[in-house]
Amino acid sequence: MYPIKKVEVLTDQIYLMDVEAPRVAKSCLPGQFVIVKTDEIGERIPLTICDYDRTAGTVTIVFQTVGASTERMKELRVGDSFMDFVGPLGLPSDLVELPKEKLEKKKILFIAGGVGTAPVYPQVKWLKEQGIDVDVIIGARNQSLIILEEQMKQVAKNTYVCTDDGSYGFQGNVTQMLDDLVQNQGKSYDHVVAIGPLIMMKFTCLKTKSLGIPTVVSMNPIMVDGTGMCGACRITVGDEVKFVCVDGPEFDGHLVDFDQAMMRQQIYKTEEGRALLKVQEGETHHGGCGNCGGDE
């Protein structure tokens, strides 16, 4: 069991928890994720690691209530426990692998949409610890959905906040904020990391492609086992089939087929849809062994 050490309500539907998971805290790196399960009947829920404390042995997760399992999660209190807390899964951020001298030459911008602010934070914090300053855009539909703003300001050189309805900060979405920074404020970047809803990442990548800025996105599709065997998190990057849980979660945003990813995410929610995908995708439907019968 994995005890909950802290619970914080960030918005009406977004919650933060510190969970005691020493082995995960000891080895995780920015960009990786965990899969949690509340109890025997709960779903396996993939969540990007928001922060970690190796000394205390805790891992911070942030989640939004979107279904029955996350509704049960929000009822958990300090002293309650998760039955499963599996990780770290996936590959660390590409930036973690770069030598410091290369990082120092980059002009990096992170773009966070909604709950995507949670996985952006540990990367920006890690870079700050290496002495690397970066800019961050945080965007949401309205002010009530902005999270981790103060924490981000502690680790980013500049934090720009925007809301679709103009209730706080710049009026407009993250793509319009980026355009304003580059076109009107004279900012220049040579590396963008965008994390948020699929539709937000799609249009961010269209904008950065037009600006000639290489862009990395962190994908968060439906996952089942988190080991590359079931094929639920399959995406297409360029001409290659990838499985987010083992090949990602980060990919070249200019190569990701976002339209396919959004369509597949909707179809995979129903038994009939999964059966259709199995027929359409043939031998490549599953990851890993390719023959595990992941959704049978």
Q: pLDDT per position in the chain (296 positions), as tens?
A: 899 999 999 988 899 999 999 999 999 999 999 999 988 887 888 898 999 999 999 999 999 887 778 888 889 999 999 999 998 999 999 999 899 999 999 999 999 999 999 999 999 999 999 999 999 999 999 999 999 999 999 999 999 999 999 999 999 999 999 999 999 999 999 999 999 999 999 999 999 999 999 999 999 866 666 666 666 778 899 989 888 888 889 999 999 999 988 887 776 554 444 444 454 555 554 544 333 333 33
In-domain check, residue 292:
no
* Residue 226 domain flag: no
Q: How far apart (Å, rounded) are the C-alpha atoms in residues 296 and 12?
A: 37
Are 15 and 76 part of one and the same domain? yes
Number of domains in the chain: 3
Listed in order, strand segments (DSSP E) in the chain are 2-9, 14-20, 33-37, 45-53, 58-64, 81-82, 84-89, 108-113, 135-140, 158-163, 170-171, 191-195, 215-218, 234-237, 240-243, 250-252
> 203: which DSSP letter?
H
Strand partners, 195: 112
Query: Where is the domain boundary, 67, 89, 111?
Result: 89
Q: Does any domain span residue 228?
A: no
Q: In CATH, what number is assigned to the domain containing residue 20?
A: 2.40.30.10
Residues 74 and 108 placed together within one structural domain of the fold: no
Residue 92 contacts residue 32 (beta carbons within 8 Å): yes
DSSP state of 134: -
The number of residues in the chain equals 296
Residues 6+ apart with CB under 8 A from 184: none
Same domain, yes or no: 57 and 161: no
204, 275: one domain: no
Domain boundary among 89, 123, 140: 89
Range of the domain at 160: 99-218
C-alpha to C-alpha distances, 233 to 24, 142, 226, 265, 294, nearest whole angstrom? 22, 30, 9, 9, 12
Q: Are residues 185 and 211 in the same domain?
A: yes
For the whole model, what pTM was predicted? 0.85
The enclosing domain of 103 has a CATH number of 3.40.50.80
Strands 81-82 and 158-163: unpaired
Residue that the structure tokens 């945080």 belong to = 138
Q: Is 44 domain-assigned?
A: yes
In a shared domain, residues 121 and 186 = yes
